A and B are shown apart, each in its own frame.
Chain A
Amino acid sequence: AQSVAQPEDQVNVAEGNPLTVKCTYSVSGNPYLFWYVQYPNRGLQFLLKYITGDNLVKGSYGFEAEFNKSQTSFHLKKPSALVSDSALYFCAVRRAGANNLFFGTGTRLTVIP
């Protein structure tokens, strides 16, 4: 079975401060991990992915995520938050060899000016 947990429904951070959005996963075999962002009244937009290789993955808009196999985590990070980063963030996992993604419940990020 595959599952994704985003333990925080809401994350608030001051503009200019570093941000972290947490994600843990459960999957048999090697995981493929993804982060998506959703702005109001829009579809999900791909941010970054981990398939293999370096554990630190860099993506769009200055975001990055670190794959930690021992902790089964894939936390999303950004060194300096912008007000425009305020959105709903989804972590997703796919088992190698499978075609469907399992999404977490989402974390609403609010960056306070």
Chain B
Amino acid sequence: DAGVIQSPRHEVTEMGQEVTLRCKPISGHDYLFWYRQTMMRGLELLIYFNNNVPIDDSGMPEDRFSAKMPNASFSTLKIQPSEPRDSAVYFCASSPRDWYEQYFGPGTRLTVT
């Protein structure tokens, strides 16, 4: 398996623009997680899905952030409008049904100028 795939790997955008981050989990994994990593706040869980259904979105910072999982092999995290404070590395992770550990993608480094 190719592991968790994220795209793009790097994204530079201007404040106010819409940003869409993409994730393909490992086939057969029922859980999908979105994290944000910054120097100031460390690794934060934003939202997670079970069988394509959002279970806990309490970590989503504000209404500018939204996440979807239209099918078992694809998820998006959207920021609209983007702000400089959204600059971070965004990780997607997936885990199997009887999960204990999570498998992380390589991350998307987002820079908002």
Which residue numbers of A lie inside 8 Å of B, CB to CB? 32, 34, 36, 41-46, 49, 51, 90, 99-106
Please provide the 9 A-B residue pairs with the shortest distance between their CB atoms, ordered closest to farther. A43-B104, A46-B101, A103-B43, A44-B104, A105-B42, A43-B106, A43-B105, A43-B107, A100-B45
A51 to B101, CA, bound (A): 11
Chain B residue nearest to A44 (CB atoms) is: B104
Chain A residue nearest to B56 (CB atoms) is: A100
Which residue numbers of B lie inside 8 Å of A, CB to CB? 4, 31, 33, 42-43, 45, 48, 50, 55-56, 91, 93, 100-107
Q: Contacts A99-B31, A99-B56 known; A46 to B102 CB distance under 8 Å?
A: yes
Q: B43 contacts which chain A residues (CB < 8 A)?
A: 44, 90, 103, 106
Asked whether A99 lies within 8 Å of B104 as measured between CB atoms, the reply is no
Q: A103 contacts which chain B residues (CB < 8 A)?
A: 42-43
A101 to B91, CA, bound (A): 14
A43 to B43, CA, bound (A): 11
Contact of A34 among B33, B48, B55, B101 (CB under 8 A): B101
Q: B91 contacts which chain A residues (CB < 8 A)?
A: 43-44
Chain A nearest CB: distance from B52 CB in Å?
A: 15
Contact of B106 among A36, A42, A49 (CB under 8 A): A42
